[in-house]
Amino acid sequence: MTTHHFTLIIEGPDLQDNANIDALFEAGCDDATVGRVGAIQYLDFDREAPLFADAVFSAIEAIEQAGLGARAVHLEPDDLVTMAEIADRTGRTRESVRLLIAGERGPGRFPSPATHFKSRQRMWRWQEVATWFADARGEPPTTDDPGIAPFITAFNAGLEWRRVDHQLKDEERQGIRKLVR
């Protein structure tokens, strides 16, 4: 069994209330640490499961069946990363990553930013960056499993879909379902 570390951003009641902590523990979140940064609540998990996806799905189920009205809204580590986060995740300097992005070092064809290209704070999809490092550079970017990046991207898209689904018109919903098939 592998231990998987991840963070779930949670909306709902104050999770730091002792009764809510107890309810989460009883529901199966005994491997999580409750935290808050400003108004954002989260649960940090170190969950044993055969696969990363199994760990995440079982954590979501435990949270949402605890009877608190708590709901997972985002899974971290996020797929969108800054140049500084790319440097951190790959063990490189920011300057090294900047040169790779600019095509001044390495094989070129670094993935395009996922955010507006004119933005001062550009962001890239980690899945694309991890694949680029693995393929173009012939080296894994980190000791973490880069194969979880596609799952995180899809999972967060699913959480976002769940959040806005009721706001869509039927024809919009049907069109999006056709798109993702």
pLDDT one-digit tens code per residue, 38-88: 999 999 999 999 999 999 999 999 999 999 999 999 999 878 899 999 999
Amino acid at 49: A
> Domain tally for the chain?
2
User: Tokens 């699913």 — which residue?
Assistant: 158
The reply to whether 84 and 149 lie within a common domain is yes
The reply to whether 96 and 129 lie within a common domain is yes
The reply to whether 19 and 71 lie within a common domain is yes
Last residue of some domain: 47, 76, 105?
A: 76
Question: Tens of pLDDT along 9-24?
Answer: 999 999 999 999 999 9
CA distances from 17 to 8, 26, 41, 72, 82 (A): 18, 14, 12, 17, 34
Backbone angles phi, psi at 69, to 5 degrees: 80, 15
The CA distance from 21 to 36, in Å, is 13
The CA distance from 125 to 104, in Å, is 21
Last residue of some domain: 76, 95, 121?
A: 76
* pTM of the model as a whole: 0.78
The reply to whether 7 and 89 lie within a common domain is no
The CA distance from 181 to 164, in Å, is 19
pLDDT class of 180 with cuts at 50, 70, 90: confident
CATH number at residue 15: 3.30.70
Q: What mean pLDDT, rounded, does the chain reach?
A: 90
The reply to whether 108 and 144 lie within a common domain is yes
Phi-psi region of 35 (alpha: psi -120 to 50; beta: other; left: phi over 0): beta
Last residue of some domain: 21, 42, 76?
A: 76
The reply to whether 98 and 165 lie within a common domain is yes
The CA distance from 177 to 165, in Å, is 11
The reply to whether 25 and 61 lie within a common domain is yes
pLDDT class of 109 with cuts at 50, 70, 90: very high
Overall average pLDDT of the 114-125 stretch: 83
Residue 52: domain span? 1-76
Are 128 and 109 within 8 A, CB to CB? no
